[in-house]
Amino acid sequence: MTKKILILLFILIPINANALIEVDITRGNLNPLPLAVSPLSIDEESRKGFEKKLKKENIGSEISKIIENNLRTSGLFNPLDKKAFLQAPDIANLKPRFEDWNLIKAQALITGKVNYVDDKLRVEFRLWDVLAAKEMMALAFTTVPNNWRRVGHIISDKVYERLTGEKGYFDTRIIYVSEEGPKTQRIKKLAIMDQDGANNKFLTLGNELVLTPRFNPASQMVTYLSYFKNLPRVYLLDIETGTQEVVGDFPGMTFAPRFSPDGKKIIMSFAKDGKSDIYTMDLENRIVEKITNHPSIDTSPSYSPDGKYITFNSDRSGYQQIYVMKNDGSDVKRISFGNGLYGTPVWSPRGDLIAFTKLHKGKFYIGVMRTDGSGERLLTENYYQEAPSWSPNGRVLIFYRETKTNSKGEGFSAKLWSIDLTGYNERQIKTPTDASDPSWSSLLSN
C-alpha cells in the first residue's frame, strides 16, 4: 500500500554545506542537542480542509508533534517546550528572529507550513542553525493527506541526516508477534506498526501459532514461521496484498527464516532426525540449496549486507555458539569465545558488527561483536531478552524482553525494547498487547 503512495520531494534551496551544528552519534549522548520544533503553520482554509478530511483539528501541530517525538526518542535531541517559544508558527513565512530562539537556548530550529492544495497535502519545512543564523536545509513534499504521519517521519529523517551525517530510521515499520493469554496457551498474531507505535495492525487472526516474522530489506514482503495445520513451516507473506505461500517443500519443520540482502533468497533451517541444517531457497527459480551439513543444530542464519557471508549459531562445539561462513557454506569459523552461550546473531546493515543474545550465569544479554568475534560489548542485561533486530542505519537495536513469573505463575509479560548501539537510550516501545520477535523494515522512502 505504502509503496504506491507517491511522495514528491523538492529541494527548495541548496543545502548549506558549512553549518556549525553537528551531532556525534558514535558516543552515548548525554547532552542531547536542544532544538525547537515550531508547530507547522497552517492557514484557516487549509486547516478546515484537513479537519474535514483527517478529523484532526490542526494537522500542522500534529506533524510537528511526530517530529518532536521522533527526535526525542533518538536520544540525540532535546526538543524544547513549546510554551517557551517567543515567535509564533507564522514564522514559516518570515525569517526567524534568531535572538529569540537563542534566548531559549535552542541550537537548531525547525519551521514549516502545511497547505491543502487540490486534495493534496503540501508541506514545506526548513531547518535553521540558530547560532550561525543560517538556513541548513529546506524541503517541500506533496502527498495524499492520509500520509500525514509519514510526512512527519520523513522530515525527522531529513533533520537527523542533516545533523548527524547518517541516514535516519523514522520512516520505517516494525513487524512483530503480538501475544495474549496465559503462558501455557499463548495466542500469537503477526502485527505491524509504524516505528513510533502508531498505525498498529494485526495481520493474522491468532488461529495458529506464528513466530519470527522478518522483513525483506528490498520490499514489503515478510517471511515467518506458522504452525498452520500443525505443520511448522516457513511462509512468505506479501503485506500489501495479504497473499501467503509456503516456502519450499520440506518433509519436516522449517524455521528461522531471513531474507538475503537483495531480497531474492530466503535462508532458514530445516530440522530432520534431530539435526537442523541451514538451507537457502531462491524465490525466483525455487531452487533449494543445502548450506550446512553437520549432525549439530545449525540455526538463526543471517547474511552479511554484501551477501558474501552468513553468520549463524550452532552447538557443534557442544554448546550454542556463533559462527561465520562463506555464503556457499565453506570456511566455517567459530567467532564467539566468551563465557556463556551465544545465539541469534544478526549482521549489522553497516557490515561491521554482529548483534547477538548471550546467556551467562542465568542472565540474558544483548550485545555486539565485530565480525571476527573481537570487541565483544554487552549493551543490556536482564532476566530474559533476545532477538535483536537492527534499525536500517545500524545505530539502534530493537529486541524483546520477558519478565519472570512468580510462584503462582503471575506477572509474566513480553515487551519490545530498543537500545542504541552505544548502550544508552534504552526504551520500551509501547504495543497494544504483549509483543515479541520484532523486525525492523528498511526506510520506506529514500
Q: What does the binding site for other proteins look like in residue numbers (CB under 8 A)?
A: 182-186, 209, 211-212, 225, 230, 232, 252-253, 255-256, 269, 271, 273-276, 297, 299-300, 313, 315, 319-320, 341, 343-344, 357, 359, 362, 383-384, 386-387, 402, 404-407, 409, 412, 437
Q: And the C-alpha cell for 15?
A: 543545502
Residue 311 Cβ vs other proteins, minimum distance, rounded to whole Å: 13
Closest CB to other proteins among 41 and 313? 313
Residue at grid coordinates 494537522: 59
Closest CB to other proteins among 185 and 243? 185
The C-alpha torsion from 99 through 101 and 107 to 110, rounded to 10°, is: -130
Closest CB to other proteins among 313 and 442? 313
Residue 401 Cβ vs other proteins, minimum distance, rounded to whole Å: 13
User: Identity (one letter) of the amino acid at 121?
Assistant: L
Going 68 to 69 to 74 to 78, the CA torsion angle's sign is positive
Closest CB to other proteins among 243 and 407? 407
- Measured CA to CA, the distance from residue 298 to residue 26 in angstroms comes to 33
Neighbour tally for 350: CB within 10 Å: 14
What is the phi/psi pair of residue 324, to 5°? -130, 140
Residue 164 Cβ vs other proteins, minimum distance, rounded to whole Å: 32
Closest CB to other proteins among 108 and 310? 310
Residue 298 Cβ vs other proteins, minimum distance, rounded to whole Å: 8
Residue 251 Cβ vs other proteins, minimum distance, rounded to whole Å: 11
Closest CB to other proteins among 34 and 232? 232
Q: What angle separates helix 59-73 from helix 148-164, to the nearest 10 degrees? A: 40
- Measured CA to CA, the distance from residue 402 to residue 383 in angstroms comes to 7
Asked if residues 372 and 327 have their Cβ atoms less than 8 Å apart, the reply is no
Could you give the C-alpha distances from 244 to 188, 225, 347, in angstroms and in order?
17, 12, 26
Residue 322 Cβ vs other proteins, minimum distance, rounded to whole Å: 11
